[in-house]
Each structure stands twice: as C-alpha cells, then as structure tokens.
Amino acid sequence: MLSSKSGMRGLWFIMPAVVTLLLLITYPLIYGAYISFFDTNLITKWNFVGLKHYVNIFSNTEFVERILLTLHYTFWVVVGHFVIGTGLALILNMKLKGITVFRVILILPWLFPEVVVGLLWKWLFNPLYGLFNAVLMKVGLIDDPVSWLGDEKTAFAAVIVVSIWKGFPMVMMLLLAGLQSIPEDIYEAARIDGCTRSAAFRYVTLPALMPVMVVTLILDTVWWFKHFTMIWILTQGGPGNATNVVSIDIFKQAFEFFNFGKASAMAILVFFVCWLMGYGYRRLFGNGDD
C-alpha cells in the first residue's frame, strides 16, 4: 500500500505522459468522433446530423468494398514483410564476416521518407522513361512499354511491391532484436538433447520469438492498414478504384469534397477496425508474454 505522499509524487511523475497523451491522442480522437455527428466546414457551419453519416456510409457497399480492398492490400504487404523480414533476420543473425555492412544496407528503405520512396518508384515504373520497362524491353521480356501504375491489373500489385520494399526492414530489425535476445544456453541444451537445426528453429526459435512476432504483426498490420502517403503519390487511388484504399477515400472526403463529418465518421470506423484487428491477434496468439 502506497502512502498518500508517495502516491502524490507518483502522480507528478506520470503527469507529463498523461498530459501528452490527453493532448495528442485522446483529444483528437474525441474531437474526431464529435465532428462525425455534424455537417460542418469546421469554421462557420456546425449542423448536428446525429448518426446520418454512419447510416450514409452503410447505405451502399462502397465503404465495405474499400475496407475489403484495404484488407487485401494489408494482407499481402504484411505477408511480404514477414517472409522477407524473417528470412533476412535469420541470415543477419548468423556470425558471418561483414554482416554489419548488410545490416546497414538492408535498413535503408526504412530510413527514406515515404514521399521520396513514392516518387522514386513512380519514376522506376514510368512507361516512357522508367528503368523497369527499359530493362524488360532490352532483355526481350516485353515488346512495348507497360503502364504498371496505369493498368488496373498491375497497379495494385505494383503498390504492394513498393510497400513491401519500404516496410520489410522494420520487421527484419524487430525480429533480429528478438533473435538476439534468445539465450544461447537454450540452443545448447537443445543440441545436447539431440535437436536438429530445423527442430531447434521449430521448438526453440519460434516460441521464443513469438512475443516479438505478435507485437510486430499488430504494429505492421495496423500501420499498413491505414497507409496513405505512397499510394497517394503512386496512383492517387487509381486507376479507377484499383488502389482506392480506405485512407485515400477518407482523405478525399475531407480535403477534396470538404465533407469533414463523413470523413470523421469513416475514420472512426477505421479506428474500430484497427482495434478489432489488434484484439483478434491477441486472442489468436495470446498476449505474447504468456
């Protein structure tokens, strides 16, 4: 039992964090929810409309289609991150000569700003001047330039490729940190018990890495589910609606159509989708530290 004096002192210690959280997270969230009940231009017009925006969002299949497209996008991006990230983390965890150089090189995509990555890949994909078309035409794989970002069939895949390239280093570094925290003694004990390399991976590495993997999975999924910048730069949600993920739709509602109320309602729904995903993962894999 804490004395009231030490309790007060504790309160003072957590005060900066509480104030920061209230100002930067709680207030915007509550304000966003508040706006979703209004038809507003945020300055002079504040018409209370109740649940109208929510009803409107679910009155057709458009929003659900966007959510499904976003889930589809997120699924492939996260799968890509984990396949590449895990593979590279395992390699980087080996005691090989010059491995630090590779660690530095492989983390580079994560260090570039998203805007830079978007523009860089946009130029690489360019049908007239882009590197990909030039190389593919030179080796004879294609006869005419392909508009990678301008064709509905290829634009979605192109956006996923860019997102995987940008995001795999974060997964790689987190898993590498997780791998390095597994005590060597456990592997040694497993070896003494006659464990093979693959069995050690299955029965030692994976269980020990699971807490880090779950946290990484939640972070990565939520992060890419609400991703906006690179898709906006690459395709602006097009062509047609091929890459029109939910964050692009919210942005357009707010800053192109100036429907701030509807945009807020959509954002609140996305918040719940993200929360549900996190909850689902925790239920599925446990809390990670069990």
Partner 1 sequence: MKVRKVGSLVSLVLASSLVLAACGKSESGNNADSKDGAKQTTIRIMSVSQTENPDGPAEKEMAERYMKLHPEVKIEFIGVPMNDLYKKITAMATSGDLPDAFTMTPQFARTAHGMGITADLKPLLGEDYIKEFYPNIIEESSVEGKLQFLPWNAAPMALVYRGDWFEQEGLKAPENWDDFLEAAKKLTKDTDGDGKTDQWGFGMIGTRNGSGADRFIVILRSFGVEELRKDESGNWVSDLDTPEAKEAFQFFVDLNNKHGVVPPGVTETGFPEAASLMATGKVGMMLTGPNALGNIVSQNPDLKGKLHSVPVPMKVKHTATFGLLGYSIAESSKNKEAVADYLKFMVEDENALAWNQLSGRLPTKIEVGKQQQLTTPEYAGFVKALEYSFTIPAFDQYSQFQDIVAEAYQSMIAANQSVDAATRRAAERANEVIQANK
Residues making contact with partner 1 (CB under 8 A): 12, 15, 41-45, 56, 122, 126-128, 144-147, 149-152, 155, 235-242, 252, 255-259
Q: Please report how close the Cβ of residue 92 comes to partner 1 at its closest, in angstroms.
A: 36
Single-letter code of the amino acid located at 250 = I
- The answer to whether 176 touches 110, Cβ cutoff 8 Å, is no
Q: Closer CB to partner 1, residue 109 or residue 127?
A: 127
CA–CA distance from 284 to each of 71, 80, 214 (Å)? 18, 20, 10
Q: Closer CB to partner 1, residue 149 or residue 204?
A: 149
Q: Closer CB to partner 1, residue 178 or residue 237?
A: 237
Q: Please report how close the Cβ of residue 123 comes to partner 1 at its closest, in angstroms.
A: 11
Percent helix, strand, coil in the chain, to 5, is 75, 0, 25
Q: Please report how close the Cβ of residue 41 comes to partner 1 at its closest, in angstroms.
A: 5
Q: Please report how close the Cβ of residue 8 comes to partner 1 at its closest, in angstroms.
A: 9
- Tally of residues, the chain: 290
Q: Closer CB to partner 1, residue 20 or residue 180?
A: 20
Partners of residue 46 on adjacent β-strands? 40
Q: Closer CB to partner 1, residue 205 or residue 244?
A: 244
Q: Closer CB to partner 1, residue 225 or residue 260?
A: 260
Q: Please report how close the Cβ of residue 147 comes to partner 1 at its closest, in angstroms.
A: 4
Partners of residue 111 on adjacent β-strands? none
Q: Can you tell me the distance from the alpha carbon of 115 to that of 130, in angstroms, rounded to the nearest whole number? A: 18
**Residue 130 burial by CB count (10 A; 0-12/13-18/19+): exposed, middle or buried?**
buried
Single-letter code of the amino acid located at 155 = A
Q: Closer CB to partner 1, residue 153 or residue 283?
A: 153
Find the radius of gyration of the CA atoms of the chain.
24
Partners of residue 39 on adjacent β-strands? 47
> Tokens 């078309």 correspond to what residue?
133
Q: Please report how close the Cβ of residue 155 comes to partner 1 at its closest, in angstroms.
A: 7
Q: Please report how close the Cβ of residue 128 comes to partner 1 at its closest, in angstroms.
A: 6
Quick one: which of 212, 116, 211 has its CA closest to 165? 116
